[in-house]
Amino acid sequence: MKAIQIFSYGDPDVLTVTELERPEPGPGQVLVAVSASSVNGHDALVRSGAMKIVSGRRFPIGLGLDFAGVVAETGPGVAGVRTGEPVWGTVHPREKHAVAGAAEYVVVAADRIAPIPAGLTAVQAAALVVPGITALAALRGATHLTAGESALVRGAAGGVGTAVVQLAHAFGGRVTALARTRHAAALIDLGADQVLDYRETSPGEIGPFDVIVDTVGTDLGRYRRRLSPGGRMVTVGLSGPAIAAIAASTVYGSRRIRTFSADPRTTQLAELAEQVASGTIVPVIDGVYPLADITSAHRTFDEGGAMGRQIVRMNGPEGSGTSA
């Protein structure tokens, strides 16, 4: 099988397509024939070396946090999962992997997958796994957005941002999206009430907001000051300065800057599937790249400014069992 690995940290050019033996599932595990994976901020951080505390310095390291495909084989003790079933899921985000989601096959624990929602292809499903789970965790778990509250979404055109805009609107929020002007019409279609160009709008010119969801990780202190009394802010754009800002904000109590690490399991994936089934969230895809050109997908992600997700398509069949 083919898999994406890195043998050193760096820019997208370090990504290598390697030939490996197909893995075998152990007790409690499933082997998934992967049809599609996406490029996440987590993948870029691992690739660059910013997550050495987790991934270490021993290579090779596999890339690809999420995946969508079909169950190829189940290990001993696995119940409720059938071979040939279309599934989506993630590898463990806080573990090092020699082979991860950007591969033709991946082995994961059975509780890290769930059935792909009806009507989604594997490519569409891969575009929603991490963004959808992250948006749910940000809005329900971290900030508890309620109907009628005002919400600001920074990085609204990105994969996570587009998911947050959709769910914040579905939960009854009044959504302000920060993104490039060229994405305004698409974001309004997704549920934003207004779109402001972040290059022309300073934090002091907007707000206050009941909820701020940040996917960028910069200027966090300036945006935190735009919270209303009782407001809540969360960021998923982690970096050294962001971590420092989060730590410094603890003196503000409930108005501090929060963060979290989404670790989707079957239950969370099933909850996301319900949102898909109800029509409250749809995948937003910027481009689809073959596995051999994953370097271009990562480069597009690093450059920023795209609308939606970069998807990496494996060489095999679609594998979703649903409409194309």
CATH code, 158: 3.40.50.720
What per-residue confidence (pLDDT) applies to 55? Answer: 84
Residues 37 and 62 reside in one and the same domain:
yes
Residues 48 and 117 reside in one and the same domain:
yes
Residue 207 forms part of a structural domain: yes
What per-residue confidence (pLDDT) applies to 111? Answer: 96
The percent of residues in the chain predicted with pLDDT above 90, rounded, is 83
Considering only residues 324 and 50, tell me which one the structure prediction assigns the higher pLDDT. Answer: 50
Residues 288 and 231 reside in one and the same domain:
no
The 8-class DSSP code of residue 290 comes to: E
Structural domain count, the chain: 2
What per-residue confidence (pLDDT) applies to 214? Answer: 95
> For residues 7-24, b (16+ Cβ closer than 10 Å) or e, as one string?
eebeebebbeebebeebe
Classified as helix, coil or strand, 105 is strand
pTM of the complete model beyond 0.85: yes
Mean pLDDT in the chain? 93
Position 37: which residue type? Answer: S
Q: What is the mean pLDDT of residues 65-73?
A: 97
84: left (phi over 0), alpha (psi -120 to 50) or beta: left
What per-residue confidence (pLDDT) applies to 317? Answer: 42
The 8-class DSSP code of residue 143 comes to: S
What per-residue confidence (pLDDT) applies to 50? Answer: 87
What pLDDT, in 10s, does the model give residues 144-185?
A: 999 999 999 999 999 999 999 999 999 999 999 999 999 999
Q: What is the mean pLDDT of residues 4-28?
A: 97
Terminal C-alpha separation, the chain: 24
Residue 20 forms part of a structural domain: yes
Q: Which residues pair with 67 in a beta bridge?
A: 89
Q: What is the mean pLDDT of residues 304-324?
A: 69
Residues 76 and 159 reside in one and the same domain:
no
Q: Is 219 exposed, middle or buried (0-12, 13-18, 19+ CB in 10 A)?
A: middle
Instruction: Give the span between the Cα atoms of 36 and 49, in whole angstroms.
Output: 24
Q: Is 62 exposed, middle or buried (0-12, 13-18, 19+ CB in 10 A)?
A: buried
Residue 239's pLDDT band (cuts 50, 70, 90)? low
**Inter-residue contact 108 to 79 (CB < 8 Å):** no
Other CB atoms within 10 Å distance of the CB of residue 83: 11
What pLDDT, in 10s, does the model give residues 198-225?
A: 999 999 999 999 999 999 988 999 999 9
CA 39 and chain centroid, separation: 8
Range of the domain at 301: 2-127+283-313
From residue 210, how far is each of 67, 91, 120, 229 by CA, in Å?
34, 33, 33, 8
What per-residue confidence (pLDDT) applies to 323? Answer: 30
Residues 119 and 58 reside in one and the same domain:
yes
Residues 166 and 242 reside in one and the same domain:
yes
Q: What is the mean pLDDT of residues 184-205?
A: 97
Q: What is the mean pLDDT of residues 253-271?
A: 86
What per-residue confidence (pLDDT) applies to 318? Answer: 43
The 8-class DSSP code of residue 138 comes to: I
Q: What is the mean pLDDT of residues 34-39?
A: 98
